Chain A
Amino acid sequence: MNELIIETNQLTKKFSKRYAVENIDLKIKKGEIYGFLGPNGAGKTTTIRMLLGLAKPTKGSIHIFGKDMKREKLNVLKRVGSLVEYPSYYGHLNAYENLDALRILLDAPKSRINEVLSIVRLSNEAKRPVKGFSLGMKQRLGIAAALLGNPELLILDEPTNGLDPSGILEIRELIKSMPKEHGITILVSSHLLSEMDQMATQVGIISKGKMIFQDSIEALRQRAQSKIAIKVDQTEQAWRMLLSKGRQAEMDNNQIYLPHTSDEEISTVIGDLVHDHFSVYRVQEEKKSLEDIFLELTGGEGSL
């Protein structure tokens, strides 16, 4: 399972003078759900457009299924399903005809249309003109279109955009099920870390066009080290007392913080506090959330 499905080398896109994407080395293995994360304007869509051959890289190379995109674009695209930015549709056609126009290009059987419509739960709306669809329904249609050709690689740019909570859940479950059931590899972009946390196996974080983190989701979680927060009545005196005993205590927000330590250490600290007649109100473990890490990594520009 170590075969690289997507590999980019120094991938760069420059618009006039500004770099939208700079020296990105994406590495996505077979069967992964790769969460491509970054705040607005980070360069996610631009990267995806280059992966699909919609835009030309200023510099760098792209290999998908081990094939050079420059030379074997059509052979690669046959095996890729995609949804870029916002869903595409033909308003004057109904959902079925929309998919049929694409099916013809993919040489897929007609029966596949009804299959993908039922996967995204649009079977009942199949005969309605798409111009009357809500954003969420168009989004589902876009996902159906991406699945139409039984792709080995799915590239989805913010696929849950515009979906209601149950729609988000459905799509997330769908995405999670695909590598298991069909061995599909998925690149899914988002600016929501919480969403990725629930489905991605690998994450790449991009900010201002640069890749600032690329590793497994566990590696990201490990950065989320916890601290112990202690709330007492006279914070400052208690803090000084702990410092005088050689503890690495910090004071912030009228609380005392200790780095993550063993249970015995904590019980000694509490013993000391009680012994010196401080009233201990609360002792709790404070985990740094992935969100905090994301904000740290992206320099505070991330959104929630």
Chain B
Amino acid sequence: MGKVLRSEFLKLRKSAIWLLIFVSPALSFLVGVGESVEDAPHKWELAITYMAFIHALLFLPLLTGVFSAFVCRYEHIGGGWKQLLAMPVSRGNVYIAKFLLVLGLIAITQLLFASGLILAGQLKGFEEAIPWKMIAVSLLGGWIACLPLAALQIYVSVAWSSFAAPLAINVIFTLPNMLIVNSEKFGPFYPWAQPFLAMVPTGQDGFGAMNVTMETLLLVIFGSFILFFLSGFTYFQRKEI
């Protein structure tokens, strides 16, 4: 497994993907700086919510799709699959390694997002202390909530040799997010909405699906993650190259 990861990382390291991880944190940072939170009592909570509107509601689902498509793209275009799978490596390890790369990229994006948040708070001179715990919970929650989506997207990206098709589908499903997060019924079950629901701090007056408890959300997330991941994993085991 270590070998496969090192090889995958080498291929990724030299690619253009690194520019993309800065996009969402940078834009969210601008939102954080721009939004007025002057009279609000919980400035950090409010800032993270505002920033999550652009980051978690829009970019995180999109990026999850892009990252997944990306780690498969260089195998599809150069005929890499047949060379890779004729090596003494198990298909399972290859699949897991690709998936871990996607999770790693999302994790880095999350950390950059947090840096943006803290920087925005400092610039605006929030007097409250930095709520490390809340930030950590939000980041981790957002990251975990990307698991089902990442599993779904990597499945589609492995199956489809086109780069654009999985992305187009991802965009189509991301766009209604705005409406779906308002629905208590559907929100928690919609993989594209889960990152936002998990990232927005609970404990304040939320709306729609934000009233769903963290426990329910996590249960749904892990359940669907296992389902999607195993489907993709078994598909890849049997795929004819």
Contacts and interface: CB of A to CB of B under 8 A. Distances in A.
Given A88-B83, A89-B79, A101 B10 contact: yes
A97 interface: yes
B89 interface: yes
A78 B89 CA distance: 9
A54 B240 contact: yes
Interface in A239-287: none
A82 B86 contact: yes
Contacts of A86: 79
Interface residues on A, range: 20 to 34
Contacts of B11: 90, 93, 101
Given A88-B79, A89-B78, A90-B74, A55 B241 contact: yes
A85 B84 CA distance: 14
B234 interface: no
Given A74-B88, A90-B74, A91-B74, A84 B4 contact: no
A30 interface: no
Interface in A66-94: 74-75, 77-78, 80, 82, 84-93
Contacts of B15: 92
Contact of B78 (A75, A88, A105): A88
B14 interface: yes
B3 interface: yes
Given A102-B7, A104-B3, A90 B87 contact: no
Contact of B3 (A56, A74, A84, A105): A105
A55 B134 CA distance: 50
Contacts of A100: 10
B87 A77 contact: yes
Contacts of B78: 88-91, 130
A93 B14 contact: yes
A253 to B, nearest CB: 47
Interface residues on B, range: 20 to 34
Interface string A33-50: 000000000000000010
A56 B238 CA distance: 8
A164 interface: no
A106 interface: yes
A77 B240 contact: no
B220 to A, nearest CB: 35
B83 to A, nearest CB: 4
Contacts of B87: 77, 102, 105-106
Given A105-B3, A145-B83, 11 more contacts: A53-B85, A54-B240, A55-B240, A82-B86, A84-B83, A86-B79, A90-B74, A92-B14, A97-B10, A102-B7, A105-B7
